[in-house]
Amino acid sequence: MTDWNERYKIGDTPWEKGAAAPPLIELLGKTQEEIWGSGRTLVPGCGSGHDVRALATAGITAVGVDLAREAIRRAEVFPRISDETYEQGDFLEKDFAEGKTFSAIWEHTCFCAIDPQRRENYAESCSRLLQSGGHLIGVFFLTAQDPGEEQQGPPFNSTISELDERFARWFDRIKEWVPESSYPGRKGKEWLAIYRKR
C-alpha cells in the first residue's frame, strides 16, 4: 500500500508538475457555470492544490481533500486566491462525507492513485458527496490493456467501459472528449468525462 505522506516527505512526487492540469485549464476556458453548479467543488487527492487554485481563480468555491498531511501542508503554503480551503481526510471513507454537499467534483489523478479494488468506494463517495444533478467532472487515464490484468501502480489505468460501469449505479455520462492540452508525456492517454448524478 502506498504511503502517500511519506512520498511527499521524501519528495518522491513525479505527479507534481507545479501547475494545474492542462485539461482543467482548457475546460475552465470553455465551460459555462452550469457544469460546476452554484455550490462548492470538491477536489479529491488534491496534492499541493494547483487544481484547487485554478478553480478558485475561475471564481469557483473549491475544497481540496488529501489523505497526506504533508500535501495539505504544501497546499496551505500558497497564498489564498479567494475562499478555497483544504482538508486532510480520506475521500473513500463514509465519515468524510458527514455534513458535506458539493455541486461538482473535479477528478484528476486520484481515481488512478487508489487501489483498483477500492473503485467501488470511490464511485460511492462521489455519489454520497454530490447533490442530485451535480457533476463528477474527471480526467481519467485510459489503457488498451485488459482491466482484469494486474497492473503495477499507482497509477492504475482504466477503460471507458469500466468507468461507465463503475458510475452507472448513480450517474449518467452526459459528455466525453479527449482534451487538447495535456502535461508532456500524457497526451493521448487522457479522457475527459462528465457524469451527472441522478
Ligand X SMILES: C[S@@+](CC[C@H](N)C(=O)[O-])C[C@H]1O[C@@H](n2cnc3c(N)ncnc32)[C@H](O)[C@@H]1O
Q: Name the site residues for ligand X (rule: CB under 6 A).
A: 4, 15-16, 44-47, 65-68, 71, 90-92, 108-110, 113-114
Residue 192: CB minimum distance to ligand X, A: 15
Closest to ligand X by CB, 119 vs 197, is 119
Residue 86: CB minimum distance to ligand X, A: 11
CA 64 from chain center: how many Å?
9
Closest to ligand X by CB, 161 vs 185, is 185
| 59-66-23 Cα angle (round to 5) | 50
Burial label for 184, CB within 10 Å (0-12, 13-18, 19+), is: exposed
Closest to ligand X by CB, 146 vs 181, is 181
- Which cell numbers hold the place of 113? 492513485
- Which cell numbers hold the place of 99? 455534513
With CB atoms as reference, the residue minimizing the distance to ligand X is 45
Residue 154: CB minimum distance to ligand X, A: 6
Residue 166: CB minimum distance to ligand X, A: 16
CA 25 to CA 19: how far, in whole Å? 10
